Structure 1
Amino acid sequence: MTTLAEYMIVSGAKNRPPMLDKSMFNSWESRMLLYIKGKKNGRMMLESIKNGPLVYPTVEEDGQIRKKKYAELIKQEHLQDDCDVQATNIVLQGLPPNVYALVNHSQSTKDIWERVKLLMKGTELSYQERECKLYNEFDKFTSVKGETLHEYYLRFAKLFNDMHTIGMTMQQVQVNTKFLNALQPEWSKFVSDVKLEKNMYTTNYDQLYVYLSQYEGHVNEVRMLRERYQDPLALVANSQTQSHSA
C-alpha cells in the first residue's frame, strides 16, 4: 500500500521527476518508478522501461514488406508508442547533465534505463556510507525561510522515504520531534500546542502536518509582521496599537 508520504511525493511534484543522486541510485530508482506509476498510463510506461518500446507492425505494399507509419497504427498502438516517448522524457528529466550527456543518444527508455544502471554500478555508496549520509542530512535538516508548510513537508517526506528505502529505522518520537523543532520560529506557539495535543510516541509526522496546516494562515501573518517590523520594539508597539484599536 502506498504511504501518504509516497503519495505526496508523487502528487506534489507532477512536473518534476526525482533527480538522480549518483550516490543513491537504488533510492532514485524506486522513487522514479513510483513517480511514473502515478502518471496517467503509468503502467504502460513502466512496460516500456521493462520490455522496450513498441515494435511497429509491418504491412505489405506493392509486394514489399515495410513497417507501418505512425499514422497507420491502431488506437492501442498509438497509445503505447506515445507512452514510450513520455517515459523516455520523464527518465531523461531525472538525470543530472553529466549523466544525461552519456545516455541521451539511446533510442528507447529501456536502453537509457539499463545504461544508467551500468554507469551507476560501483558509484553506489555502501549501506554504512548511505546510512551515515542520511543520518547527517536528518540531523542538519531544517526549514527554509519563506517556504510553505507543504514544501517543508515534502522535503521531510523525501528524506524519510530515502531512509525507509534502505531499511533505516528511527523512533517515532525522534522523527516527530525533528519535524516540529526544525520549523521556522513563527511556528513556535503551534509547535508547543501540538506537543501537548498529540502523543509524540504514536502520532506520525503526516498527522502533525495535517494538524499544523490549519494554522498556516495565522503563521503567515506573523511572518509578514516580523518582516515589516524587524525592530522588536516596533513589533511590540504595533501589537499594542492593534489591541487598543480592538
Structure 2
Amino acid sequence: MHNNIMAAGSRDRPPMLATGRYAQWRSRFLRYIDTRPNGDALRKCILKGPYTPTIVTTPAVPATEDSPAVPEQTTVETVMNMTPENRAHFESEKEAIHLILTGIGDEIYSTVDACQTAQEMWEAIERLQQGESLNIQDVKTNLFWEFGQFTSHDGETIESYYTRFYKMMNEMIRNNLTVATMQVNVQFLQQLQPEWSRFVTIVKQQHKLDEVSYHKLFDILKQYQKEVNELRAERMAKNANPLALVATAQTLQDPYYQSSKSHKSYAPTSKASLPTRSHATTRYKGKEIAKPITPPSKSASEEDSDPEQA
C-alpha cells in the first residue's frame, strides 16, 4: 500500500511521502526528477541550492585609431547573458519547489513551505523525518516489550483476551513489525490463566502452531469457556473459606492430635500381647491343643475360684 501511495501518478507528479518511508521516498523522488527534461538542473536546485547570478566583468578595451578606449566594466549576470547550463539551473528553482510541495503531506506542509529555496525544503524534510524515525523506533521498541509482557487478567474471558491481543498485533503490523506465526501463537496460548492449561494442551496436540493463526486458536478455545468458568468458580470457592483451610492445617500440625493418634494405633498390639488373655490349653488324647477363650464371665470366675473344680 505504501508503495502504491508513493508511486501514485508518478508519470505526472512526484511520489507521495508516506509515514515512516522517508528513505524509499527520497530515492523515488530523485529518480522521478531524473526523468524530467531538465532533470540535471532540478537536481542541482534540490541538492546544491538555486543558481545565483554572478558578476560579469567586461575587460577593458584599449583605444585604437578608429575607436576610443573602453574601460573595464562589471555587470550582474542576467538570463540573457547566462550560459545555457546556468540558465536551466536558474529557471528550474520554482519548478523544484513546486514538485517538493506536491510530494509531501499536510502534516509537514506548513513547516516545509516556510523555507525559501528547494534545498532548504529538502533539508527540512530530512530533519523532520529523522526525528520521526527516532519516534517510530521508540514506538517499535515499546510494542515489542508489550508483546513480550502481554498476559491475561484474572477472571478475564477469552473474548476480552483475544480483543486486546488483536489490537496489539494490529498496532505492530501498522508499524511494520513482523513476528513469526509460531511465536505469535505460543505467546497467545501460554499467557492464558491456569484454568486454560488443560485446553491449551488439547489445542497444541491437535494443531501445528506454525501453520494456524491465533484467530483460529481463539475460535477453538472459546468453546471451552463454560468449563473454564466452572474451574474458576471451584477455585474461588476454595479460596472463599480460609478459616476451614486454617483449621485443617492446624489439625494436621497439632502435636496432641498426633500423639493421641499414635497411642491409639499401638493400643491393640499391647493388649494382644498378654498371654493370659490370648490362649488356654486343654489335654485331649495326650496332646495339647491351643484354643481361644472368650472373656471370662462372672460365673466362670466363681468356678475358677472353687478348689473342687480344680
Bigger relative contact order, structure 1 or 2, given CA contacts below 8 A and separation 6+?
1
Q: TM-score, normalised by structure 1?
A: 0.43
TM-score by length of 2: 0.35
Larger Rg computed on CA atoms: 2
